[in-house]
Structure 1
Amino acid sequence: MDLRYWMGRATDAIQEWADAFGPYPAHASVLVDDDRFAEAFEEFTGRLSDNYPFFHPRYAGQMLKPPHPAAVVGYLTAMLINPNNHALDGGPATARMEREAVAQLAAMFGYDTHLGHLTTSGTIANLEALFVARELHPGQGIAYSSDAHYTHGRMCHVLGMKGHPVRTDDRGRMDLDALDDLLRTGEVGTVVLTTGTTGLGAVDPVHEALTLKERYGVRIHVDGAYGGFFTLLAGADGPEGLLPEPWRAIARCDSIVVDPHKHGLQPYGCGAVLFRDPGVGRFYLHDSPYTYFTSTELHLGEISLECSRAGASAAALWLTFRLLPPTPQGLGQVLAAGRRAALNWAELITASDVLRLYQHPELDIVTYFPAVRPATLSAIDAASARVLADGMTGPDPVFLSTLKADREAFTARHAGITADGQGARVLRSVLMKPESEHHVKQLHARVEELARTR
């Protein structure tokens, strides 16, 4: 796909559409001559060079990658019109696209019925899910694992609810025995389960937690912002296949959040929230004296806490799904490549004499640390920090990230480590780009080289 060609086609198509309404000369107040623009553009592109190469397999650090070319073209084309998906009169075409794309997401998770929409981020999507939880269980709090994203604690504060962090097991998953103890108090109305923590990629046992949902009458909200799309690999053949039970159980949960700007190949920001019961739309009910007048059909702004939202985000997702639908044969193949990359690198690390796995990857996040002597938390922390810093410099860079593991988490996984501190940083690589599958050996060789350098 020639991105430059299709970007040109995008501007031509929108200009042709606009010309049908007659001439519309730009106002003098916004006119800028090419020489002035060239000067500003040169400074602009120069500043953008101060970035890490998120597109390249050398970059194996944070959860960052470029959007698919189809998403770029879809976003640019719709952005030239600049629709607002709050009300149908603000973006009739992109509002329909949003509904169709959201319906595909709902089908991916097995929802027979749903109410949902796109958001500007996973943070806002989770805020909306917790807002509905508060309305349904007033006066009760929210439980989430201690390894869950920090957004849940922050949004509980915003909503005036009490957050209850629950300890995790030695794989970074919510400890259901601890959750059971908490639910017995009656203080919790909603449990947040994470399918793919942002630190380790750990998947909470959703299927097992459903028993507690029935026993205590709580809601279950699934935070799949990072890992939700991995449901496409549930029960798949091959090494990349995932145990299906946690993923199939999502269909019986009350709500789910997923971020297409992560594994859905979209630009920032594009999140989504889905509710299994469309009846929760009553909590969003409001009116406006100057919107919602073009149709008696439900407007997206009537089921959203956000007001203005870029219709271009919906357009980008819709166009991408036309080419790579959220099915095992479509987008699932992209996730399978990242999963295989993580498993292959884990094998190389296991066989290495200078690196050790911190935890076996569940999705596409690999965590590891230099095999230092003496094997103390302080020595591991220093070695990890050195590899991170040295990897970003020189003629053969590799871009990694680190994860802070506390003393209890570390020793639960590696009993032979001397705990001479409160914790240690380990190296962390997110292999969410499918191109990483063919670059694992080079990544591993470079990290081994860095780890050997004292």
Structure 2
Amino acid sequence: MLKAIPAGAGVLGEQLQVAVEELAAWMREYGDVAPHPSQDVDLGALEAATADLRSRLRDNYPFHHPRYAGQMLKPPHPAAIIGYVTAMLVNPNNHALDGGPATAAMEKEVVAQLAAMFGFPPAPGHLGHLTSSGTIANLEALFVARETHPGKAIAHSADAHYTHARMAHVLGIEAVAVPTGPDGSMSLEALADLLASGRVGTVVATTGTTGLGAVDPVHEIVPLARENGVRVHVDAAYGGFFRLIADDTPDGVAAAPFAAIADADSVVIDPHKHGLQPYGCGAVLFRDPGVAAHYLHDSPYTYFTSDDLHLGEISLECSRAGAAAAALWLTTRLLPLTSDGLGEVLRPGRRAALAWAGLIEDSGELALYQPPALDIVTYLPARARLSEVDAVSAAVLAQGMALPLDESLHLATYTVGGASLAARGHRVEADVDAGRILRSVLMKPEHEAAVPDLHAAVLALLREV
């Protein structure tokens, strides 16, 4: 595997400078264009405004640092930055080949790589494209679900991302939440009862819930759905890239659910999470290229320079940044979608989650809410009542963020009820309906080395509370 480009070594700036100079030379080949005076700005005003911008951007949490173990946030890989900014200098639009021929080709290449990662047949045996987000990717998948099974509901885990219920509302279809088991994954028994009713046309299986990181048993959901004539859509927005390390090894994840994605009807993934991309990069893939018929539309001025497939012809979105495709294309050139490519970036986070889970289990002051399936760890203060668990968790969260910058600790919380705690064997009196526990997302490779310090910091805050 090629080593990551070191952001602090000047390589990023050097490559961007080369890009600016080479693209400027290419533009001049068409002839010089004098900038229009209407776009002139005062240099002093520009310097003042950009200084203000830099100052205001400091009002963020340290997403880049291992002490940030809160939400699913981290900076993109330097290669993605180079790819994005380089293409942004041209500003192509990947809706039609007329607006971005080069980046549209790159998009088709990276989509083919994603399809291969999931085990979908090579083109033309699949259909897919990038989107501006996982939300839009799921909207498109549910749109096709509605068109292929009109009048039928979609079923999703009760712990699935709220986007499914929201997008079902937008599409005017019914969404049914299926209860979960003690590990936070979809209950097969409850799903079987629901499917037997004939009410559902598509099951949404999640490989990595955004709250707990739970993985639905896709390998068991697919045959159950097929027995009932039901489609399967996989929401792999968060956990999709774990397919690269789904090998049942000590620092990998369970193989069966991820291998079964190859038999699903559609899947979404968010490269802006574990794919190391900036925001504005999701993806949706369909196993049957025939679903393109549901996107059928025409434009009297758009699709005219080529008879090849225009990405806008298979997308609900119109304008999309070609820079997002360039960023992902360049990243996968350096970190390919293989176990020893991008997979080596995921394993440290997985090891970090397992290591911290072990420290928590050995601690008398914290309790592991449930074993981590991916790289999300959930845990709670050892208290007798749920109200106390909630108050202490909230205090640890607030006090960690209030520490001096070079000592600050950024976690997150997750709301649970008494029944969920009891199902996982926690003897906590449910004196309130719900309470917060602690949650840490260890998606940066640097988290692996930081686990002992993170654990010690949480214990120190806990003792102060």
In which range does the TM-score fall when normalised by the shorter chain? over 0.9
What's the CA shift string for 1:30-63, capped at 9, x where partnerless?
A: 1113211001111111110100010010100000
The structural deviation recorded for 1:289 is 0.4
- Give the residue type in structure 1 aligned to 2:147: E
Q: Residues of 2 paired with 1:333 and 1:236: CA distance?
A: 15
Pick which of 291-300 and 401-410 moved more. 401-410
Q: Residues of 2 paired with 1:126 and 1:289: CA distance?
A: 28
Q: Judge conservation of contact 2:195–2:225 (CA < 8 Å) in 1.
A: no
Structure 1 position 201 matched with structure 2 position 213: yes
Q: Residues of 2 paired with 1:23 and 1:329: CA distance?
A: 46
Q: How does 1:167-206 map to 2 (within 5 A)?
A: 167-206=179-218
Structure 1 position 235 matched with structure 2 position 247: yes
Paired residue secondary structure (1:182): helix
What's the CA shift string for 1:101-139, capped at 9, x where partnerless?
A: 000000000001210000000000000000000000000
Q: Residues of 2 paired with 1:56 and 1:6: CA distance?
A: 24
Q: Residues of 1 paired with 2:261 and 2:126: CA distance?
A: 13
Q: How does 1:33-182 map to 2 (within 5 A)?
A: 33-112=42-121, 113-182=125-194
Q: Judge conservation of contact 1:411–1:419 (CA < 8 Å) in 2.
A: no
Partner of 1:341: 352
Q: Judge conservation of contact 1:228–1:258 (CA < 8 Å) in 2.
A: yes
Q: Residues of 1 paired with 2:42 and 2:297: CA distance?
A: 45
Q: Judge conservation of contact 2:88–2:323 (CA < 8 Å) in 1.
A: yes
Q: Residues of 1 paired with 2:280 and 2:236: CA distance?
A: 16
What's the CA shift string for 1:293-343, capped at 9, x where partnerless?
A: 000111000000000000000000000000001111100011111100110
Q: Residues of 1 paired with 2:396 and 2:209: CA distance?
A: 24
Normalised to the residue count of structure 1, the TM-score between the two structures is 0.98
Instruction: Report how many aligned residue pairs link the two structures.
Output: 451
Structure 2, unaligned runs of 5 or more: 6-10
- Give the residue type in structure 2 aligned to 1:197: T
What's the CA shift string for 1:247-287, capped at 9, x where partnerless?
A: 11110000000000000000001000000000100000111
Q: Judge conservation of contact 2:272–2:280 (CA < 8 Å) in 1.
A: yes
Paired residue secondary structure (1:333): helix
Q: Judge conservation of contact 2:418–2:428 (CA < 8 Å) in 1.
A: no
Identity, in percent, stands at 63
User: Quick one: which of 305, 322, 325 aligns to 1:311?
Assistant: 322
Change over 3 Å in CA distance of 1:379–1:360 after alignment to 2: same
Structure 1, unaligned runs of 5 or more: none
Q: Judge conservation of contact 1:75–1:312 (CA < 8 Å) in 2.
A: yes
Partner of 2:432: 421
Partner of 1:379: 388
Q: Residues of 1 paired with 2:394 and 2:425: CA distance?
A: 19
Partner of 2:8: none
Q: Judge conservation of contact 1:143–1:192 (CA < 8 Å) in 2.
A: yes
Q: Residues of 2 paired with 1:98 and 1:207: CA distance?
A: 29
- Give the residue type in structure 1 aligned to 2:253: L
Structure 1 runs of 4+ with >2 Å offset? none
User: Quick one: which of 322, 331, 342 aligns to 1:331?
Assistant: 342
Q: Residues of 1 paired with 2:142 and 2:78: CA distance?
A: 34
Q: Residues of 2 paired with 1:111 and 1:382: CA distance?
A: 47
Structure 1 position 394 matched with structure 2 position 403: yes
User: Quick one: which of 196, 201, 219 aligns to 2:231?
Assistant: 219
Pick which of 2-11 and 23-32 moved more. 2-11
Q: Residues of 2 paired with 1:431 and 1:184: CA distance?
A: 39
What's the CA shift string for 1:222-263, capped at 9, x where partnerless?
A: 0000001101111153x2122211111110000000000000
Q: Judge conservation of contact 2:212–2:378 (CA < 8 Å) in 1.
A: yes
- Give the residue type in structure 1 aligned to 2:354: L
Q: Residues of 2 paired with 1:192 and 1:326: CA distance?
A: 24
Q: Judge conservation of contact 1:349–1:357 (CA < 8 Å) in 2.
A: yes
Q: Residues of 1 paired with 2:321 and 2:436: CA distance?
A: 38
Q: Residues of 2 paired with 1:340 and 1:211: CA distance?
A: 32
Q: Judge conservation of contact 2:235–2:269 (CA < 8 Å) in 1.
A: yes
Q: Judge conservation of contact 2:417–2:430 (CA < 8 Å) in 1.
A: no
Paired residue secondary structure (1:392): helix
Q: Judge conservation of contact 1:410–1:423 (CA < 8 Å) in 2.
A: no
The structural deviation recorded for 1:414 is 3.0
The structural deviation recorded for 1:200 is 0.4
Structure 1 position 10 matched with structure 2 position 19: yes
Normalised to the residue count of structure 2, the TM-score between the two structures is 0.96
Pick which of 25-34 and 75-84 moved more. 25-34
The structural deviation recorded for 1:25 is 1.3
Q: Residues of 1 paired with 2:48 and 2:328: CA distance?
A: 34
Q: Residues of 1 paired with 2:186 and 2:202: CA distance?
A: 14
Paired residue secondary structure (2:205): strand
Partner of 1:408: 419
Partner of 1:250: 261
The structural deviation recorded for 1:142 is 0.3
What's the CA shift string for 1:162-196, capped at 9, x where partnerless?
A: 00000000000000110111111111000000000
Paired residue secondary structure (2:98): helix
Q: Residues of 2 paired with 1:117 and 1:261: CA distance?
A: 15
Pick which of 70-79 and 207-216 moved more. 207-216
Partner of 2:280: 269
Q: Residues of 2 paired with 1:236 and 1:78: CA distance?
A: 39
